[in-house]
Structure 1
Amino acid sequence: MLESYPVMPGAESFFFKGNQIGILISHGFVGTPQSVRYLGEYLASEGFTVYGVRLKGHGTHYEDMEKCSHQDWIKSLEDGYSILQKHCREIFIIGQSMGGTLTLNLAHKHRSIKGIMLINAAINSIPPMEMYKNKHIPRFVPEGDPDIKAKNVHEITYTKAPVRSMQQLFILMEKTREKLPAITCPVLAFRSEEDHVVPPENTNFILSTIQSDLKEVVPLYNSYHVATMDHDKVFIGEQCSLFINKLTSNVFTPTRMKEPRY
């Protein structure tokens, strides 16, 4: 599927070349790499190689998104993984919201992934979208303001969301749920305690279903759904870096995650 519209300024994918440890980052539904760029820049400053992928149909126009299937989004992340494999020895994946769903898919397929980090991942419930599961009209619905607690934060996103795309997201979630029991890689899951898009119970379900020996949850008390652009964004970067360094060192000692600092 060829996109009909150009990429919006600031919504482009990003790549920072660093060491042999690669980190692939995925934004969420109707979002763009801009929403996770701060996290990418933070991890790049720690020396890692970082690639923030733009999912197909995102960052251009919602009519492009409407043409996409969930397989297109899976392929976008798969392509990003292939790019990082050319540069890195070990690869971690980070996904926010639907990006977390895609991350779980990738972890199921590629058992060589060193570890994954989920940020308010969607897996079984998105209340604002539930009413559109089986509808064909309207074709588009207003997207509303991004769910961010911090003031004066601008996220590049669509003003409307295609109903067909919402249904593709639900299909993706359903298929991913079936794969959870077979996921065994280390998982660090961030969970906003107040999230108006994806309830915290989604994260609880993921952690109770996957079979990873190492699975940790980090509660976020001062951020809403788009946590990578919210008050906890520095804390998220710090914890991701700690998680990655712990798993790439020769000595592994499980440690309790710190609480956010304000």
Structure 2
Amino acid sequence: MIQNVEFRFEGGRCGVLLIHGLTGTPMEMRLLGKGLNRAGFSVYGMQLAGHCGDVPDLLATGWKDWYTSVEAAADTFRREVDHLFVAGLSMGAILALKLAAERPEWVRGVGVYGATFRYDGWAIPWYAKFAFMLPWLQRAGIGKNWMLHESEPYGLRDERLRAQISALMQSGDSTAAGLPGNPWPSLAEMYDMAAIVRRELPRVTAPCLIAHATEDDIASLENAHLVARGVSGPVETLLLENSYHMITIDQERRILIDRSADFFSKVAASCTPSALAAA
């Protein structure tokens, strides 16, 4: 059964919508959200459709459902703030970019954290690096019951936190640390969406803060370069050298929080409130 673990932190008239990753949970965005809230932002940590339940719950949804839930959350939140920013981790970053491409009038700026167009990091099993073929396999009915199981280091360089997250994942509590693996049909859905968003990147005109771990174990740095080359708006880049994929909770999360707060504040200062948000 899906449990709702979204969170809200009330703050000023600038709001940040936070989007977690595939098979993840809003909890992976909570520390970032608290930090942004301390910096004066209102924060909404949303929950993607089909997440925070079991594998059948996730498999009952696809990328269009995930994006629809993002758009619905953004539509609600933008009416409460003068400036709406959106930030996502991993697949959440891809969804954030899609929102900026589809709804440029809503989005003032984008936090692109550990963007994952391909699972091509150093800890990914060799066979999973061919996961870009999954949409074709899925259409052929192959791999419906396959799972890419999470393994060390679970996106975390912080060994103490890694042990905690591993225990939570194995406990079966998907609201705390997400599912212990990625169903291949869901990965296929993600790759379908990633291919679409890659083509849509030139439509992203909002400023982007692209943050990525230099030793990302899940998604190589090429994913960040792809975004920087593809978007049309101004780009700032933050490379984190002492973290792995889960940069919102790993060892350099405070650096990410500070740079994100500075970036969003700077963009907001250069804007006037949108007519729709102020209405």
Please indicate, yes or no, whether the TM-score normalized by the shorter chain is above 0.5: yes
Q: TM-score range by the shorter chain?
A: 0.7 to 0.9
User: 2:2 corresponds to which residue?
Assistant: 6
Aligned length, in residue pairs: 242
Q: 1:112-131 residue pairs with structure 2 within 5 A?
A: 112=105, 113-123=107-117, 125-127=118-120, 128=124, 129-131=128-130
TM-score between both structures, scaled by the size of structure 1: 0.88
User: 2:150 corresponds to which residue?
Assistant: 143
User: Structure 2: which 5+ residue stretches go unaligned?
Assistant: 166-176, 272-279
1:138 deviates by 5.8
| 1:107 equivalent in alignment to 2:127 | no
> Any idea what the Cα deviations from partners look like across 1:149-168, whole Å, max 9, x if unmatched?
00121340212321100000
How has the CA–CA distance of structure 1 residues 225 and 169 changed in structure 2, closer, same or farther, with 3 Å as cutoff?
same
1:47 deviates by 1.6
State the distance in 1 between where 2:232 and 2:264 align.
19
State the distance in 2 between where 1:6 and 1:91 align.
27
Q: 1:166-205 residue pairs with structure 2 within 5 A?
A: 166-205=187-226
State the distance in 1 between where 2:96 and 2:34 align.
20
1:178 deviates by 0.8
State the distance in 2 between where 1:175 and 1:17 align.
34
Task: Report the 3-state secondary structure (helix = DSSP H, G, I; strand = E; otherwise coil) of the residue aligned with 1:198.
Answer: coil
Identify which range, 144-153 or 185-194, moves more after superposition.
Answer: 144-153
State the distance in 2 between where 1:19 and 1:138 align.
46
> Any idea what the Cα deviations from partners look like across 1:88-107, whole Å, max 9, x if unmatched?
11100011100000001000
User: 1:29 corresponds to which residue?
Assistant: 22
Percent identity reads: 25
Q: Which runs of 4+ in 1 moved over 6 A?
A: none
Give the aligned residue type for 2:150. E
Higher relative contact order (CA 8 A, sep 6+): 2
Give the aligned residue type for 2:151. G
| 1:215 equivalent in alignment to 2:214 | no
- Which structure's residues are more often helix, by fraction? 2
1:216 deviates by 1.0
User: Structure 1: which 5+ residue stretches go unaligned?
Assistant: 252-262
Identify the match of residue 43 of structure 1 among 31, 36, 54. 36
TM-score between both structures, scaled by the size of structure 2: 0.83
> Any idea what the Cα deviations from partners look like across 1:38-66, whole Å, max 9, x if unmatched?
00011111121100011111111122111
| 1:227 equivalent in alignment to 2:247 | yes
